[in-house]
């Protein structure tokens, strides 16, 4: 039964992902309206009409830019730590992490490479064609707005659908599964907050629409669950250990 759990989670999350995508396609005004909350209009230069130009002001504030930079590198640091945990024990077995199975670490690392690396950045962002909010005519850009899931936009590379940083942030949240339950309990909310803020900052800065961030965050969880289902996940049975101690 435990082995079936990741497959069930995968199919439920995938269905939820498709429902969310359909919602944003049917109601694109949600994407537009949410981005407008963080867009400040101003008069255009050279005699332009007021209200036709502007910027996503939060992205211009140094402290927010610094927070974004720090959060951007957190998943990278976590991935490097996972790689090190797999490579270093080959040189010295005393430096292994026996409390976290090697299979779990491989599944976690593979999820990041496949989702954020391959699916999001190399495929969807490269070929979706969806312009970023700041690049659309709605927000002082030159390109037309297209709804989530549309592959007919004028963006040619590094496009908005979906967010690479939000995908990495979702993956960072998934790493909680590597921790023992007692550690997971006290670190759950801080990691969730960091993960969500990382994804939302891309929306606040006008680099992605809300749908891009939500769907990217969920995509990381979906890929993580799929790999855990295919290759297996070593769950800790603390009750069994305590009874045999």
**How far apart (Å, rounded) are the C-alpha atoms in residues 4 and 232?**
10
pLDDT in tens, 182-227: 888 889 999 999 999 999 999 999 999 999 999 999 999 999 999 9
Tell whether the model's pLDDT for residue 2 goes beyond 60.
no
Does residue 64 or residue 234 have the better pLDDT? Answer: 64
Q: What is the reported pTM?
A: 0.88
Which one of 45-49, 139-143, 234-238 scores highest in mean pLDDT? 139-143
Q: What is the pLDDT of residue 94?
A: 62
Ranges assigned E (strand) in 34-174: 39-42, 53-56
Q: How far is residue 85 from each of residues 41, 91, 172, 191, measured CA to CA in Å?
A: 49, 11, 16, 21
pLDDT in tens, 89-128: 766 666 566 667 889 999 999 999 999 999 999 999 999 9
Q: Residue 217 in contact with residue 169, Cβ under 8 Å?
A: yes
């Amino acid at each position: 039964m435990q082995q079936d759990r990741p497959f069930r989670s995968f199919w439920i999350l995938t269905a939820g992902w498709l429902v969310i995508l359909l919602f944003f396609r049917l109601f694109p005004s949600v994407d537009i309206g949410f981005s407008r909350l963080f867009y400040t209009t101003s008069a255009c230069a050279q005699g332009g009409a007021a209200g036709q130009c502007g910027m996503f002001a939060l992205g211009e504030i140094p402290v927010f830019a610094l927070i974004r930079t720090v959060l951007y590198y957190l998943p990278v640091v976590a991935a490097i730590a996972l790689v090190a945990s797999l490579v270093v024990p080959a040189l010295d077995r005393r430096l292994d992490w026996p409390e976290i199975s090697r299979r779990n670490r491989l599944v976690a690392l593979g999820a990041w490479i496949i989702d954020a690396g391959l699916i999001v950045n190399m495929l969807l962002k490269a070929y979706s064609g969806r312009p970023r909010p700041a690049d659309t005519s709605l927000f002082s850009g030159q390109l037309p707005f297209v709804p989530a899931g549309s592959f007919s936009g004028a963006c040619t590379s590094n496009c908005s659908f979906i967010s690479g940083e939000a995908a990495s942030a979702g993956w960072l949240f998934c790493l909680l599964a590597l921790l023992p339950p007692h550690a997971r309990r006290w670190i759950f909310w801080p990691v969730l907050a960091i993960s969500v803020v990382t994804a939302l900052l891309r929306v606040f800065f006008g680099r992605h629409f809300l749908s891009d961030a939500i769907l990217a965050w969920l995509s990381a969880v979906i890929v993580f669950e799929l790999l855990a289902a295919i290759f297996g996940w070593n769950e800790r049975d603390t009750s069994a250990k305590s009874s045999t101690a």
